[in-house]
A and B are shown apart, each in its own frame.
Chain A
């Protein structure tokens, strides 16, 4: 395992080294809807080691956000039940007491929510909201909390934070709100940070700065990062591992480098092939034909089958998340015989220069 690029080595090291900080086992979430009980996710399995940075990608609606929310037990009102275990540092978050959960939430595990406007309370100033998180979890005075809040706002790149700290959320731009959320999540120094699309509202220069801050925090204070995003460039630059989800299941789990160059699951490959830089300007953008099966008609066997160009005999059977060697896992029985293209163009050709300068 000694060779390989640095990111890969680190990922492997983190995986077979320290015991995981977070172990999700057989996680499934159900909701009540007017059309009956909806099984939104099932059989979710993954580990995150201290200091590891894992990207979670996948189709819109596949269950990334609710998986993150379930770790903090912040599920919506029509939540109808949960299967499996969520082990965090030895405690099962799926079954621990509400009191235990409150002590962990915000302090040891923090979350940056996908929709900053809805996560911020419109009637309080942003400074108040950040300082409150800090004061709930520690014994510090108002003055100190304010000073720490200002410092954090500066670190996330808010200009003149002393003039912004007393602003209400509606007075900030989309990207500023997002940075306020990031500041609030980092203020208590969590061991695990769940970041749900943390940089979508930011320009790429501020994004680069925030991603560097997250990388830095994960390296210096061993904060583990679970980064939910649709931006594969962000995953490539920030994470060591990439987990791909489809229709409520984990379908691939690999180091970022492996997943980008040689994805093992046809859905992962399709996602990578949909990147706009792989198609001519103003032309049609590639996409995966068909759409996710509706919950009422979820097929038995592989859930990607109706859209998969490689579907064959055996795909109608249950697909297990199986070991693909080298610590990779994939939910497709044909993975070994398929040779799927990744994010480079054209597949296999020495296209690095082309992609890098497009």
Chain B
């Protein structure tokens, strides 16, 4: 990596400021605060991990990052510009550089199109190369994700879950975007193919300078591939920092509980029960608890936690947390 590009790496490719996304509930009487005031930058060329509670707003952030939905409040800048201020045509072109790969591959594949046609489609829309070149590129992409030739002629329903997911990955990669949001993209793959696909992601990052936002529940995966990781709980970030720091010296009680719950492939004789079981009902983003949102389940909650919203602060260099007591020395049991 040259000095210039190392410098470049530091400037954000995406800046998120006070992001809020709300939805109406089905009875239309209340709003779901799916994302409620989130701030972060994604640096060029990095892999930014997002982990956290199911339903905490990770996918919603991902969709907002690529403008598949409009924020209810706040701003998202791509390379310092606001894409919503672009003309329609400019916006369409711009968008190609910011892709998302979804949790559910069925949503992304047209059941009536063959696999090859699906992978070709984005190349055709972008009018890249001639027909033969596009087809070569599409077949190469399928090859790289480990699908044999014969799959090109098949239809999505004839593929297993993991095979479909690999098609979707191949499809997003053909466009060589600047940023890809990966929402649970490797969960459906076996360990060995997961290794191959993650290595492929790393190669493309090195060769093309891609930036990834990697949403996953797999802590081992996030620890392995991302430089920084954010932890989400009920619509907000509770912790953000260098992955090594967050994984080894977590500051927020939710992060600590999350890390302790990771299932380990160990035989029964070697397993120690050190899991922190969170008590209390999971609160809802329709009416989140006052003060600290984690207080209804936090083993360290104090009266102050009900009264005051904890400040989002940089407790250590580059390591942010939202907890009143995160600087208490004996806080982390790990």
Contact = CB atoms under 8 A, between A and B. Distances in A.
Interface of A: 5-8, 31, 33-35, 57-61, 64-65, 76, 78, 114-118, 125, 157-160, 163, 166-168, 171-176, 197, 200-208, 211, 230-237, 256-257, 260-261, 270-272, 274-277, 279, 281-282, 284-288, 291-292, 294-296, 343-344, 352, 355-356
Pairs of residues from A and B, 5 with the lowest C-beta to C-beta distance, nearest first: A60-B162, A175-B54, A233-B263, A287-B195, A285-B195
Given A157-B282, A205-B53, A291-B148, 14 more contacts: A61-B163, A114-B161, A115-B161, A171-B25, A174-B184, A201-B103, A201-B184, A204-B261, A207-B217, A230-B191, A236-B271, A261-B267, A284-B199, A296-B150
Contacts of A235: 265
Contact of A260 (B154, B188, B189, B265): B265
6 contacts: A61-B162, A117-B107, A167-B26, A176-B54, A201-B184, A203-B217
A281 B244 contact: yes
B224 interface: yes
B103 to A, nearest CB: 5
A294 B149 contact: yes
Contacts, number: 228
Contacts of B107: 117
Contact of A159 (B189, B270, B281): B281
A61 B160 contact: yes
Interface stretch (B13-21, B91-99, B272-280, B298-306): B272-280
Contact of A35 (B153, B157, B286): B153
A35 B149 CA distance: 12
Contacts of B27: 163, 166
Contacts of A237: 263-264, 271
Nearest to B186: A230
Interface of B: 23, 25-27, 30, 51-56, 59, 103-107, 146, 148-150, 153-154, 157-163, 166, 184, 187-196, 198-199, 202, 217-221, 223-225, 243-244, 257-258, 261-272, 275, 277-278, 281-284, 286
Nearest to A279: B224
A158 B59 CA distance: 18
Nearest to B224: A276
B106 A117 contact: yes
B278 A205 contact: yes
B199 A287 contact: yes
A60 B188 contact: yes
